[in-house]
Amino acid sequence: MTVYKVPQQELQFVLEHLVNYSKLCTLPGFEESGQDMVAAILPEAAKFFEQVVAPTNWASNTQPAYLESDRVMTSPALDGVYQQMVEAGWCSLSGATKYGGAGFPGVIDAVVQEMLQSANVGFSLLPTLTRGVIRALNSYGSEQQKDQYLEKLISGVWSGTMNLTESQAGSDLSAVKTKAIPADDHYLISGQKIYITWGDHEQAENIIHLVLARLPDAPEGNEGISLFLVPKYTLNDDGSIGSQNDVKAVGVEHKLGIHSSPTCTLAFGDNGGAIGYLVGPKNQGLMCMFSMMNHARLAVGHQGVSLSERAYQQAVEYASQRVQGTVQGIEGRAPIIHHPDVVRMLAQMRALTEGGRAISLYAMTAEDRSTHHQEQQTRELCAQRVEIMTPLVKGWCTEMAMETTSLGVQVHGGMGFIEETGAAQHMRDARILPIYEGTNGIQALDFIGRKCLRDKGSGLQQLITEMTQTVDDCDIESKSIKTLLDNLINTIDQCQLALEHILQAPHKTSFVAYQFMMLFGNSIAYWQLVILACAAQRKIQAGDTDQFLRQKIATTQFYSAQILPRNHMHLEAIISDVKFVDDLNFETH
């Protein structure tokens, strides 16, 4: 197992040339988060996650969480680590200063979260879900709820969870049966929720559950679901922790991956009802919860990037040391990193990882601008861009994580199939990413439906126009850059054709939604990589000789030549006749 090293130069380059952080940090509310401050904290964050968290990854994988009576016991390897992270302030970077947060832009928090996720993705889910609770309370909580809960949640002293799924419901939340009965100034919650990430543990002083449930007079379906705040421990009048609420873990799942994360079945109200408080309007729980879910979907996409980075680093390390066969130009037996097919696999892992990082941080930056930019028109445009990008980041980046982590196993050869090398862990951990927070099939339907057909393609057309503007802006005298731009023009044409076809044939969208999502994911990732390649070429022409810059361009060239051709397949699948679907039969005989 390789030692994880934060790709600091890559992250800094993206912040400078894609995020345009020098301008972002001048927006209202971000003035104290300037470039000098970021330059100071990122190396410290890198040191913490490399030295403190990354060494827990394998141990917490082999010693997973388990249930002992009513208590969830987490891996001994994690003992004290979360507390160190809280004390160092890494949980509160993007929190509102009003409640004790540092007030950094979300994109900086995402960069630091990437370090945590690469270091130990299962452990990283603990603060990730808390951020979602913070977001929901910020948007829909009462002032009293904000005053009672936000400071402790932002600091990380308390953690949070999201409770949607029930055994009979799955992704169909209209079937939720958990009940909420009015009782004085609160509600009594009863029911059972499954697949609750970090649903119970001893790492934080309190756990704040956000729970979907139905009031007695609620209508059927999605329109009758409300959102409730249910603390593990109730609060005394002075805000201190009181008695344990009527909620407990009754099971911890045995999973394919993310073993360091306790995935719990939670029982509410076995002894009369768990005390809960309404968040937002009655029967509008899904609207409130989606403020949490959409952010979680962006976070899951970036988890895919983080796992890809860890798998890539391990594959490079192994390939550099594993000696096998001969290669022309190298005396004696050669490390396999010189074998052409291994070069291909490593380049593919790096290109997909860097493409995923680019579109993820692009979306996070748009989110920051949507809430902090001075001009309302820009805020609205950026909010629309975040809406469009969310299913792409979640869907495309997690699909690519499956590909990169599988390639990581392949680079190791037979040793990749052996658990002790650690390569298989990354692939197992990545397998949940296309499933949770809405399967990638749901993301594809959301992208082609709500984000395309609903506005007759207007938002996507604006994105295509912006991609075209990049071609006009990159007036660089360079043969390699011109080739990249020519391929970007071709990519834009493919996106345009796909969009026009779908608008003319909306009846087939459900069947080709995945292909549509993947075509746009491939294309937007390439667009972002071209922007970075142009920035690298400008620095080279200005006299910078850093090999990193040539690597950025070469990686984009590889993506252009070896990954972008997939768009031909996706486009053909989109415009193909799908009448055969009616004749498909999957009954067993």
Catalytic residue numbers?
437
Residue 209 tokens read as 């559950």
Task: Give the Cα separation of 428 and 257 in Å (integer).
Answer: 5
| Cβ contact 111:309 at 8 Å | no
Residue 202 tokens read as 């001893």
The sign one gets for the Cα dihedral 38, 39, 44, 48 is positive
Residues 6+ apart with CB under 8 A from 541: 476, 477, 478
Residue 581, Cβ density class (10 Å: 0-12 exposed, 13-18 middle, ≥19 buried):
exposed
Q: Are strands 247-252 and 158-163 parallel, antiparallel or unpaired?
A: unpaired
Nearest partner of 306 among 429, 199, 189, judged by Cα: 429
DSSP annotation string for 117-147 = HHH-HHHHHHHHHHHHHHHHHHHH--HHHHH
Residues 144-168 as b or e (16 or more Cβ within 10 Å = b)? ebbebbbbbbbbbbbbbbbbbbbee
The sign one gets for the Cα dihedral 140, 143, 147, 151 is positive
Consecutive H or E run containing 569? helix 566-575
Cα–chain-centroid distance for residue 62? 24
| Cβ contact 210:135 at 8 Å | no
Q: Are strands 71-73 and 158-163 parallel, antiparallel or unpaired?
A: unpaired
Task: Give the Cα separation of 556 and 536 in Å (integer).
Answer: 11
Residues 6+ apart with CB under 8 A from 58: 1, 422, 425
> What amino acid is encoded at 504 in this protein?
Q
Residue 273 tokens read as 């009802």
| Cβ contact 248:278 at 8 Å | no
Residue 71 tokens read as 């208590």
> What amino acid is encoded at 105 in this protein?
P
Task: Give the Cα separation of 242 and 256 in Å (integer).
Answer: 37
Task: Give the Cα separation of 228 and 163 in Å (integer).
Answer: 10
Residues composing the chain: 589
Rounded to 5°, the CA angle 419-1-56 comes to 90
Helix runs in 413-508, H state only: 423-430, 440-448, 458-473, 479-504
In this structure, the dihedral spanned by the alpha carbons of residues 379, 457, 361 and 256, taken in order and rounded to 10 degrees, is: 130
